[in-house]
Amino acid sequence: MNHAVVLAAAGELTSTSTGEAVTFWILAPVAVLAALAMILVRSAVHSALLLVANLFCVAVFYLLEQAPFLGFVQIIVYAGAIMVLFLFVLMLVGVDSSDSLVETIRGQRLGAVIFGLGFAGLLVFPIGSAIDGVHGKGLESANAGGNVQAIGRLLFSQYFFVFEAVSALLVVAAIGTMVLGHREREGGRINQREWMRRRFTEGRQATPLPGPGVFARHDSADTLGLLPGGGRASGIGGIAGTAPESPANGGPADDDDGSGSGPSGGGPSADDGQLGGDDAALAHVGKGEQR
């Protein structure tokens, strides 16, 4: 029986292994840098992706700290579900909604930086001096029958009422979200006759719009579509000759793209009145294409 086993059995010491130290010293700078970059980059989508990187690092820390259940919950719930929710809302709100650089309160950013440095000093230095020589007991005995089983035993015995309260909280949150997201319908439901009447009296677009992914406003076969790179696709067959081809993208190499996007459409598509902000961008792109 060696020294470490004796000490661990006595419940006094679990010094971390070399592998854990190496992983920590690699991932801790990554986590801090990802967090710093998250609050410093302009684009909100980049912030979200950097936060995902940070969450993955923290998940690995959980795994290192004998909390495998929490590590995987962190990846599944946080990096998966919650960040997808964030990205959904970002896309709904608009990805170009970057921060304004105007300070409402003068000197707020500088004050925030000074506050942050001071706060970090206040937290880090006392902790650094207090943890000197602390080694902890480790979770070998608590995790003996499996981490998930042990946590489940605690959840359903000692923390049972907290568990119930939290489940009630989740129900309240779900209902609250539905209430907040609900919009009353103004006026009655519009039937098909009224849709058609409105479509023709407004006189903007009589035919259905092309399906999603088609960058043409019109679904006629000789209407040009846009290639993913932004260039013009050539049309199909004999009609291709009528299309002015851009020097960069025109040519036989693009034929498969052109025939894919040219004649499509005619699928169910939204009426003009229902189209949201995406259609504005589509219209902007499509305007140049309509002849």
Q: Does 139 bind another protein (CB under 8 A)?
A: yes
Q: How far, in Å, CA of 290 to CA of 38, rounded?
A: 41
Residue whose token pair is 């309260």:
165
For residue 268, the Cα-to-chain-centroid distance in whole angstroms is 29
Question: Is residue 14 packed enough to be buried (19+ CB in 10 Å), middle (13-18) or exposed (0-12)?
Answer: middle
Residue 256 or 278 with smaller CB distance to another protein: 278
Beta strand extents in the chain (DSSP E only): none
**281 belongs to the binding site for another protein (CB under 8 A):** no
Residues 174-203 that bind another protein (CB under 8 A): 174, 176-177, 180-181, 183
User: By the 8 A CB rule, do 265 and 211 touch?
Assistant: yes
| Residue 63 near residue 26, CB atoms below 8 Å | no
Considering the complex, state which of residue 30 and residue 221 has its C-beta at the smaller distance from another protein. Answer: 30
20 to 79, contacts with another protein by CB under 8 A? 20-21, 24-25, 28, 31-32, 35-36, 38-39, 44, 47-48, 51, 54-55, 58, 61-62, 65-67, 69-70, 73-74, 77-78
Least distance between another protein and beta carbon 150 (Å): 5
Question: Residue 47 and residue 36: Cα distance in Å, rounded?
Answer: 10
Q: Does 134 bind another protein (CB under 8 A)?
A: yes
Residue 92 binding another protein, by CB under 8 A: yes
DSSP 8-state code for residue 13:
-
Q: Is 142 a residue that touches another protein (CB under 8 A)?
A: yes
Going by C-alpha positions, the residue among 57, 66, 24 that lies closest to residue 38 is: 57
Q: Minimum CB separation from another protein for residue 117, in Å? A: 8
The number of residues making up the chain comes to: 291
Q: Which of 4, 6, 26, 141 binds another protein (CB under 8 A)?
A: 141
Q: For residue 99, state whether it binds another protein (rule: CB under 8 A).
A: yes
Site for another protein, residues 100 to 129, rule: CB under 8 A: 100, 102, 104, 108-109, 111-113, 115-116, 119-120, 123-124, 127-128
